[in-house]
Structure 1
Amino acid sequence: MEKMRNLLAGCLRESANGYVVDTLIENYPNIGELMNATEKEISSIKGIGIVKAKQLKSILEFVRKVNTPDASKRIIIRSPKDVYELVRADMEFLEVEHFDVIGLSTKNHVIFKENISIGSLNASIVHPREAFKGLIRRSCAACILVHNHPSSDTSPSNEDILLTKKLVECGSIIGIEVLDHVIVGAAGGGYVSLKEQCKM
């Protein structure tokens, strides 16, 4: 929280313990909620005009991009942590569930990453056809499933486990191995690997 206060104070040239920063934190208690706020919502706070709101949004977007892995570098997935580092900047601050697929080569180089489903606050609907369409088109040897929990609770639900097993079975039939399913929590919530938990 102290880091967030200092970031906001520096961006807005306000006191870290002043009214403006206090009100921002009261309305947006974590950086994810603030990133998802619109310029209009931010500028409605007394002491923040549209100019400061634009500046703050620009800085937050810059922070997000800096924390996103460089797509030009060839990324190799060796562990669930590698998956987490690849997707965390995009997924930690989402307000609803997103389900992504990461396509891999025979040596686990990342070929592509794409979103295949956007759901509600606590669920996303995934069809095997959509999950494997891009993988087949790009001739991937394997894949990793990733989705976020907008809360900080990364525990897999029964639906998460059943879906994973269904996709593992489908992948086995078409020759694309599903290596893992990683669940990412909200900012600071970390991640869980269903493979490590033996729930695949």
Structure 2
Amino acid sequence: MEKEVVKFIRLKQERIKIEGWEQLSASAISTPYDTANLVEPFLKEADREMMLVIGLDTKNKTTVISIISIGTLNQSTVLVREIFKTLLLANSIRFIVVHNHPSGDTLSIV
């Protein structure tokens, strides 16, 4: 019998370069509109629910934006651990959690 060789490939998170990021991240977040402008490139064309976390420093400037979960058409499952891991690694003191509704319907029936 011939032995099969198993190879493990380590996958790393991909960083996305967003044009104009420097201007967005350099300004402090002070209104919900600032938050919406910041996450628009991530959620604009999304066809599934996504949840993002934005980490902020003491002056409300962005330290990190991370996609915490990519779900299905109508749900996104999130572990709290993933949110806080991202924030701790980025040395964030405050945070904002954002998610989208690809259907456009923001009402939910429980």
Task: Give, as a single letter, the amino acid of the residue that structure 2 aligns with 1:120.
Answer: T
| 1:151 paired to 2:103 | yes
Gaps of 5+ in 1: 1-64, 160-200
Structure 2 residue aligned with 1:120: 72
Could you list the structure 1 runs, at least 4 aligned residues long, displaced by more than 4 angstroms after superposition.
none
Which digits, 9 at most, give the CA deviation of each residue in 1:40-76, with x for residues without a partner?
xxxxxxxxxxxxxxxxxxxxxxxxx9xx662122031
Gaps of 5+ in 2: 1-16
Task: Give, as a single letter, the amino acid of the residue that structure 2 aligns with 1:89.
Answer: P
**Larger RCO (alpha carbons 8 Å, 6+ apart):** 2
Task: Choose the corresponding residue for 2:84, options 121, 128, 132.
Answer: 132
TM-score (normalised: structure 2): 0.75
Q: How many residues align?
A: 92
Query: Given that residues 63 and 91 in structure 2 are in contact (C-alpha distance below 8 angstroms), is that contact kept between their aligned partners in structure 1?
Result: no
State how 1:101-120 maps to structure 2 within 5 Å: 101-120=53-72
Describe the shift of the 1:119–1:72 C-alpha distance in structure 2 as closer, same or farther (beyond 3 A). same
TM-score (normalised: structure 1): 0.43
Task: Choose the corresponding residue for 2:47, options 95, 99, 102.
Answer: 95
Q: CA deviation at 1:158?
A: 7.2
Which digits, 9 at most, give the CA deviation of each residue in 1:157-192, with x for residues without a partner?
478xxxxxxxxxxxxxxxxxxxxxxxxxxxxxxxxx
Secondary structure of the residue that 2:42 maps to in structure 1? helix
| 1:83 paired to 2:35 | yes
Task: Give, as a single letter, the amino acid of the residue that structure 2 aligns with 1:138.
Answer: A
* Distance in 1 of aligned mates of 2:109 and 2:35: 22
| More helix by percentage | 1
Structure 1 residue aligned with 2:9: none
Aligned-pair Cα RMSD in Å: 2.0
Q: CA deviation at 1:154?
A: 2.9
Q: Which has the larger radius of gyration?
A: 1
Query: Given that residues 92 and 150 in structure 1 are in contact (C-alpha distance below 8 angstroms), is that contact kept between their aligned partners in structure 2?
Result: no
Secondary structure of the residue that 2:67 maps to in structure 1? strand
